[in-house]
Structure 1
Amino acid sequence: MQSNQVEKVVVNYKDRLLRFGYELLEQICAFHHVKIEIVNHTEDKTYEQELVEDMLSIITVFSSRLYGSRSHKRKKLQQAVKQVIEDNGHAYV
Structure 2
Amino acid sequence: MHGTDPVTLRKSESTGELLPARKTKVGTCYYDVSELMGYSNEAAPTLCYCRVSSHDQKPDLDRQQELLEAYCSIEGWRTQVIRKNA
Higher CA-based Rg: 1
User: Quick check: TM above 0.5?
Assistant: no
Q: Which TM bucket (shorter chain)?
A: under 0.3
Q: Which has the higher helix share?
A: 1
Q: TM-score, normalised by structure 1?
A: 0.25
Q: TM-score, normalised by structure 2?
A: 0.27
